[in-house]
């Protein structure tokens, strides 16, 4: 397993701010999903798949489950996601069993598996996360 930086999975302290650019973090994922107009709750227990080297965080809406895998870099994320069958969201030659239809979304250091019977809600989540975070401002 790859040790993801702890900072990526922690939410900021009360009154703290979530970085608006750079690498995806738990707070930026939650912010994006909320900005898409969805009420989300983060589950305390994460998720693990043998084809992902980092532990996943899980958010739930009324009609979807979003499993988010945060890697230290885009290069590390690609080691896991570039080999996946994107139609079935599983390794080649294997078939993962999902409780609802699955969709894989990747952006920078983040991979998300969206599980939902509601196609419209899955699309809203995919668009919110797939857009990525803005690049860091240029240093003067």
Specify the CATH number for the domain of residue 16: 3.40.1000
- Reported as type and span, the H/E element at residue 9 is helix 6-9
Averaged pLDDT for residues 115-137: 91
Q: Over the stretch 34-92, which tens digit does the pLDDT of each residue have?
A: 999 999 999 999 999 999 999 999 999 989 999 999 999 999 999 999 999 989 999 99
* Rounded CA separation 65/58 (Å): 7
Whether residue 93 lies inside any domain: the answer is yes
Q: Over the stretch 109-118, which tens digit does the pLDDT of each residue have?
A: 999 999 999 9
| Domain total in the chain | 1
| pLDDT reading at 5 higher than 50 | no
Single pTM value for the model:
0.88
pLDDT of residue 8: 57
Cα 14-126-79 angle, rounded to 5 deg: 90
Domain that holds residue 30: 6-130
């Amino acid at each position: 397993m790859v040790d993801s930086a702890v900072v990526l999975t922690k939410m900021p302290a009360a009154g703290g701010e979530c970085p608006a650019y750079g690498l995806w973090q738990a707070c930026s994922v939650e912010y994006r999903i909320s900005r898409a107009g969805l009420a989300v709750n983060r589950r305390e227990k994460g998720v693990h798949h043998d084809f992902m080297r980092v532990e996943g965080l899980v958010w739930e809406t009324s009609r979807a489950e979003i499993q988010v895998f945060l890697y230290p870099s885009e290069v590390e994320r690609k080691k896991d996601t570039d080999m996946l069958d994107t139609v079935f969201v599983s390794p080649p030659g294997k078939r993962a069993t999902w409780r609802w239809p699955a969709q894989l979304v990747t952006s920078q250091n983040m991979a998300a598996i969206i599980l939902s019977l509601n196609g419209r809600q899955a699309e809203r989540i995919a668009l919110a996360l797939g857009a990525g975070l803005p690049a860091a401002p240029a240093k003067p």
